[in-house]
Structure formats: structure tokens, C-alpha cells
Amino acid sequence: MLPFPQKIAFLLFAVVTLALGFHGFYRLYLRIRRGTPDPERRFNKLPRRLLYALTTTLTQQRTFKKRPTIGLFHSFIFYGFIFYGLVNLVDAAEGYLPFLTINGLSSNRIGALYAIIIVVAAYSFLADLLSFLVLLGVVALVIRRFALPSRTDFRFNPRTLLHKDVQQSKITRDSLIVSAFILFHVSSRAIGAGAKIAAEGPDPLQPFATLLSHLFTPANAEAFRIFGYWGALGSVLAFLAYFPYTKHIHIFMAPAKYLVAREPSSGVLPLAALNLDTEDESEPDTKAEPNPKTIGAVKLEDLAWPRLLDAYACIQCNRCQDVCPATATGKSLSPAALEINKRMELNDLAAERSPFSFTPAPFEKNAPSPRPLLQFALSPEAAWACTTCGACMEVCPTQNEQMLDIIDIRRNQVMIEGEFPSQLQSAFRSMERAQNPWGINHEQRLAWADGLNVKTTDENPNPDVLYWVGCAASYDPQAQKTARAFVELLNHAEVNFAVLGKKECCTGDSARRAGNEYLYRQLADKNVSTLNTVQPKLIVASCPHCMNSIGHEYKQIGGDYKVMHHTEYLETLVATKKLTATPSDATITYHDPCYLGRHNGVYEAPRNLLNILSNSTPELPRNRENSFCCGAGGVQFWKEEEEGNERISDNRFREAQQTLAPATGEKVLAVGCPFCKSMLGSTPNKADSEDIAIKDVAELLLEGVRRSKGLTTAVTPPRSEATPQPTLEPAIITPIAAQPPSVEPHTPEAPPVATPSPERKKWQPKSAAPTQPAENPPIAAPVTEQAPSTAAVQTQPTLERKKWQPKTTTAPLPEPASDQTPTPAIAPIQESTAAAPASESASIQDVQPPPPERKKWQPKSAAPIAVPESAPTPIAESETPAPLADDAAPARKKWIPKRPT
């Protein structure tokens, strides 16, 4: 027990510090509630949520994930902290009341107090053991953070925007303060326990305290016991005032985040409140009340309140940064920096009032925050570097929602500010006018099925399977191979299926990930109306993005359908013996698409199919939920990558190279997504590994089925003249009726190898001769690098991505010579080739122009070029495109980074 004067002093000290601490927590609540109401339910099914929060917190299962060794040391601190809540209460009561101890129990009372002895013994042992484990855990983590090579886990890319407090090493200072507090608190308690044993005698149930008791003598034991009391409990009480501002607050905020965790998967974005009828939405509200007209997020208070909670739940472990494709390739985006910057800004807003003041800060009283998110949380460039792969959300120990912050920022930038990468302008217009981001005439939606017996729902109104083809398989020659292979497999299995044909339009996935929620709703509402009319029994999609949108996001707007990926459906056909395949000697490794695996949990179906197609199926090091993105998601497919050290697709393909390197014979990188196939097939590293084929699982299965039937294994491509190509401006398409009569090309009788598979142009530095063909985006196919001839024109081209280079140019590029490939600075222009001989002019005119070139983002140094509403006549490949008219459709404002002030 404490002496009486110290009892009074400690009581007064406890009252003051507890009042400051509770007020600090109340102000923390005021800051979190400044967020907007969340459109998703966060408190439904409360008993289940409570159980989930309790089990996830106590088991520490998400902390052990990815870093089991570090998680073990962290668990020492966590469980010690939890148990120390009881220890501190008991210790505080011992200062005022006499408590029984093992040494204080006489032998004649053991029988009557047997149960109490067991409880006291267990308490003493756990308190002593956890005191040692907490000290061990803190020391281990401090060494790791400041002394071991793993300290680099807490660093950021040089391009990453960091809050001024982060730049001033406040994270390091905070870590040292928290570590010092834990060490002092637990050490003081251990010293007090050791001094008590020195005075009362050894206790076999407290080995750590008994070891420390040898440092004291009966003469000084009482003084050290009182020191231990004040040191342990006084430090906790004093720390309460600082507690809401430190990273250690996550011990309370993480369980709170588990309680309000999102129910939808990471592939489902929250609906945005669209108030597009007002006229003054472009002007942000600067009044004290939140602006109901704001779409997306401009400032902290525009984010949903659970994502302000994220800032305080963040452990600052940087695991999200470790798995982020943008961070891994040297770009400016860091999901960890985003959350840390948010916390630092919230703490700075709270610091406008002293922690010892009982008056809330202006922000806590509904005053607007002074700075937009793009000035302190992340840069505009970082906001457009996200691939929406969901890896950050999947790996986060506290289930933070970093990706959703970025989507909200994009929504505001696109729909309110009109600030976005200029390449997206073509994709948006194409989706608005042609109902697909390629911008190819909607009338050619079914051209991919040329030569196949594919019926539409008008011809077969009651199919067992509705095959959702998607824009990629409708217009991309490489994805068409997948669609044709899947259809052939359905025919082999005698499945009653149909397609929507021209009734199908883009699902709006790219528009939504780009932040254009309004365009997404236009497209999605049309599809929902169509599907509700057709009432399909089962929808099968070969594109995971389409599968995700139709199967999950359309439920938000009244479309509830049974949807599965084509690999899942093919697995059922194989399992029911409707398809039988013969394996090959090829070595096959599989790349998990983000929207199939991580967002929708489909991992086994494609692997089960590949296991029957080959006896050698090594896994990539990063697989399943740990898979690395191909770089196409989050609308990256329609724009150039942000500045960094390498392409995301290069990083992933290099992993496939290393995995397949030991193999001999045929090497195959299998995919289950058309965008993954295009990105990995066009990445610069692919040019060094021509022996690696990239095929969809459906293509490989068709080859196996054909082998089993003794047929050729080549997938029949569509006729070249039936494969549509985009025109000069993707959004403007010449109707088929307006085109000259086509000339039936001569098809030589030769084995399949005579017509080479579409191949991407090999990447070369920009120092190459200007006579090289222009670099094209992955959205369409470049012509082959041959002299123009009838055979060359008939060969189906493929996709190619333009080489990334640092953004060093701020002015438009000079006008190219007539015999060179034009490379404009603003509008994507088609690739020029050498003039064809006069005798072949008729054939060349029948061929649609090659795809548009992906425009590289540049600062606002040139006025945007408008696009005329009327469709231009396709120009010959040797001509230079004419400038567009001045009275064109209004162009969106071009995006440029806003440098932080």
C-alpha cells in the first residue's frame, strides 16, 4: 500500500490525467465524424460484426499474415498490453487496499481458499511472463526498425509526396516515444514486482521478477516498490494525453475498424452520390458546413468517415506499400504514405488547440480543412498511378481502404475539376459514342464470331448460358482468340448458349475506375435494362472486369445475376466429362488476374484446368492473393504509365521469365484476363523471351480437347477483313454502309503456321530511325513491320504499348515529315506506313486504318484539339491526318499535376 500522502497525490494526478485523456479521445471522435456519411451499411448484423472484431483482434490473424516473425514479436506487445489492462487495475488497487499473495496465504487456509490460490497464481505467472515478453518484443522491433536492413521497409520512394511532419521525422520520433513509454512502463512494473519479492521472499510463479529481486535489498526494497508503482501507473496516466496523437492509438482503432469493416469485396466500389443537375458544382463550397454538391473527395471531410478512421487505425507497417505495383516500380504512389499523411494532417488540425485545452479545434467544430488532399495526402500523379489491384486493402492488418480514397479523389478530378490524363479523353468519348473504349463502330460488335455458329438472344431467346463477350474480345484481336476458343469449347460440349450481340455494350468498368461515375451509370443502366429483359439463367464472362461489374457492382443499381468466369464454367464441363483434354509437354505457369483472384477469390478453377493440361505447372513466386498486377487495371490500359523506374508489366513478366527459365521445350504463361494477356504480351521484356507464349486458359484447353480428338491444335482466327480496327479518333467511327465495297482477299492454302500469330512490335529506344512505325497503345493493333502488300494488309495485327519515358517535354512535338510517323502531342494519330503501289491501292482502301497511338501525358503547353461530331472518312495509310475542325465537341480540360504549395 502507498503512504497516505501519496495516496492523495496519486488520486489527484489520476483525476487530472484521466480527464485530459478522455477529452483527447472525444476530440479524436469529433475529427473522425467530420467525414461524410458512408453509402454502405457499417453497423448492420451487429452481433456478427462484434464476434468478427473480437476474434480478429484476439487472434491477431491479420498481423501474422505476410510477416509471421514480426507478427510474433508484435503479438507479445499486444497480448501484454491487453493483459496489462487488468494488471494496472490490480496494481492501482494494491496501492490502496491489501491484497492476498501466494506468500501471504498460510497453510491452514489453503483448503478454504484453493480457488483463490489458483486465480492468484495464474495472474502472477501471466503478469510476470508477459512483462518479459513485452520487453522482448519492444526491443526486437526497435532493433528491426532502426538497426537491421529491414529498416528500409519504412522508407518511401523519392517521388512520393510526404507530409511536412513526415519529412521532419515525426514518424521516427513518435516510434521512439512509444517504444520508450512501453519500456519504461513495463520495466517499472517489473522493478516494483522484483522489489516486492525482495521484501517478502521468492515466488516460484514469478521467475522474471524473482531474477530482478536480486538487484534489491530489504533496506531499499520499499523505495523501489513505490518507484515501480508510480513509474508504471503514472506513466500510463501521463501518456493518455498524448495517446490520441500517437501511432499507438491503433490498438483501439483497429478493433473499431474490424467492427465497421466493409461487407462487399474490394472489387466493389461504393456508389457515388451524383448531383449533376446543379449548376455550380464546379465551385467547391468553402463554408463551414460540408458541401452536399461535392462529388468525390476534395478535402479530408469529403471522405467517408470510416476512411478517416483508417488514418488512426493504420499501424504504419508499410505492408501496403510493399505490395503496391506502383511503389514497386518507382512511381510516386504509396498507400502507406497516403494514410500516414492523412493522420499527420488530422493531428495538425487538432493541434490548433492545446491538448490541455478543453475547447475543440475549429476543424472539430465543422470548420473546413484548409488544404485539399492533393496538396498533402498524395500528388495528382500518384492518384493516377493506382491500378486498383486491391493488394493494399487485402494485405492491410487493419483493413484500411486506401484504394477507395484514390477513387474518390479521381471522381472529383474527373467530374468536377475536369483534371485527368489527356489519353482518357479518347476512352471516355469512345464509351459515350461507340459504347466501347476502343471507339470501334458498335455495329461490328459481333465481327469476332465470323465463321462460327454463334447465335444471339434474338435467335436463341432461352439459352442455358449467356456468354458475355465484353469489349476486349469484341475488338482486340488477341482477346478474340480467347472468345473463339471458348465458343468452340462450348460447341464441343454441346452447350446451349447465346450472346447479346449488338445489345451488349461496355460494362463501364474502366469509366468507373477512372472516376467517371456518371458515364459508368449510363452504360451500366443500359446493360441492366437489357439483362433484366433477357433474364439470363447464367452469365459467363471471359473478362474478370466484366464478371466483377455484372456479378457484383450491378447489384447496386438493380441488376442481380448469377455470373461466373469462363474458367469456372469450363472446369464444370471438364468435371462432368463434357470436355476431355489430352495433356501436352509444355511447362505452364499461371498469372492470377487481380479482378479474378484477389477481388473475386477465383484461384482454383484455372489451376485445376491447367493441371490436366500439363504435368509441369510451376507457380510464380507471387501468386494467388499475393499476385502482382499486370499494370492494366484502374484505367491504366487506356493511358501511359506514370513516371517510374520500370513498367509494372515488365516487373511481372520478369518473374515469369525466371520461373520458366529452367524449363525445356514449350513454355507458356497462362492468363485468365484479356488485359493481362495484352499487357504481358506487349511489355518490353517480352521481346527478349520469344520462347514464352502467352495464352488464355481457354486456348490451352481447346488445344488439349483437339489433341484428344486428333484435330489440329491451332485456334481458328476470324477472317482478317472481319476484324474491326479503330479509326483516327476512337470515338468517331465510319458506318459500315459508308465504307467502299470490300474486296475479298486471297486466302492461301497453307498450314496454320503460314499465317503467323499476331505479334507485338518489338520495343526499341526512341533513338531508332524515324522510319520505324509509330508506337501504338495496347488498345488496338499496329500493322506488321513489312512493306505494304496485300498479304501484309490481310495479316491480323496485334496490340502494342508505347514505351514509357520520363516527362521531360512540355511543348508539343514538332510536326513530322511526310515520310515519317506523325507523333502529335495532343490527339492520338494513326500510324503511317510507306505508300502502297498503285496497283494495290484498291485493296488498301478497303482496309480500315490502324489503331490510334497512345498519347503521352504532357503539361498544359498546347491547346486541346477538339474532335468534330461527324465521322471522318478513313484516310489512306500513307496520308498525314488532317487537322480537326475548330467547331468540334468540347474537350475536357487536360490534366496537369498541381504541385503542392
Residue linked to cell 495528382 = 380
Residue 124 β-bridge partners: none
Within 13 Å, how many C-alpha atoms sit on residue 797's CB side? 27
Q: What is the pLDDT of residue 91?
A: 87
Whole-number Å distance between alpha carbons of 473 and 672: 12
* 272 neighbors 75 (Cβ within 8 angstroms): no
Whole-number Å distance between alpha carbons of 702 and 716: 11
pLDDT in tens, 222-271: 899 999 999 999 999 999 888 888 888 999 999 999 999 999 999 999 99
Whole-number Å distance between alpha carbons of 371 and 631: 31
pLDDT in tens, 41-93: 999 999 999 999 999 999 999 988 888 888 899 999 999 989 988 998 988 88
Q: What is the pLDDT of residue 53?
A: 96
- Asked if CATH classification 1.10.1060 holds for the domain at 1-35+290-418, the reply, yes or no, is yes
Please state at what angle helix 4-32 crosses helix 305-313, rounded to 10 degrees: 140
Whole-number Å distance between alpha carbons of 408 and 890: 25
Q: What is the bridge-based pairing of β-strands 539-541 and 563-565?
A: parallel
Residue linked to cell 492468363 = 671
What is the percent of the chain with per-residue pLDDT over 70, rounded to a whole number?
Answer: 74
Please say if the pLDDT value at position 761 is more than 60. Answer: no
Task: Sketch the domain layout of the chain as residue ranges.
Answer: 1-35+290-418, 47-155+168-254, 423-722
Q: What is the rounded average pLDDT of the residues 134-152? A: 85
The span from the first CA to the last CA of the chain, in angstroms, equals 58
Q: Which pTM was predicted?
A: 0.77
Select the highest-mean-pLDDT range: 633-647, 789-803, 837-851: 633-647
Cell of 773: 512505325
* 868 neighbors 888 (Cβ within 8 angstroms): yes
Element of type H or E holding 615: strand 614-616
Residue 867: DSSP 8-state: B
Cell of 122: 495464474
Whole-number Å distance between alpha carbons of 541 and 832: 35
pLDDT in tens, 834-889: 333 333 333 323 333 444 444 443 433 333 333 333 333 333 333 333 333 333 33
Nearest in space to 733 (alpha carbons), one of 482, 533, 525, 475: 475
Band of residue 744 on the pLDDT scale cut at 50, 70, 90: very low
Cell of 179: 517504444
Cell of 422: 489527356
Whole-number Å distance between alpha carbons of 219 and 361: 51
The Cβ of residue 68 has, within 10 Å, a number of other Cβ atoms equal to 9
Residue linked to cell 462450348 = 490
Please say if the pLDDT value at position 591 is more than 80. Answer: yes
Residue linked to cell 496454320 = 752
Residue linked to cell 446543379 = 278
Q: What is the pLDDT of residue 243?
A: 87
Whole-number Å distance between alpha carbons of 121 and 110: 13
pLDDT in tens, 447-489: 999 989 899 999 999 999 999 999 999 999 999 999 999 999 9
Whole-number Å distance between alpha carbons of 796 and 477: 7
Q: What is the pLDDT of residue 738?
A: 33
User: Is 161 buried (19+), middle (13-18) or exposed (0-12) by CB count in 10 A?
Assistant: buried
541: phi then psi, degrees, rounded to nearest 5: -120, 140
Element of type H or E holding 465: strand 465-468
Band of residue 340 on the pLDDT scale cut at 50, 70, 90: very high
Three-class DSSP category at 564? strand
615: phi then psi, degrees, rounded to nearest 5: -90, 0
Could you tell me which residues come within 8 angstroms of residue 405 by beta carbon, excluding any fewer than 6 positions away?
A: 297, 303, 307, 310, 338, 342, 373, 377
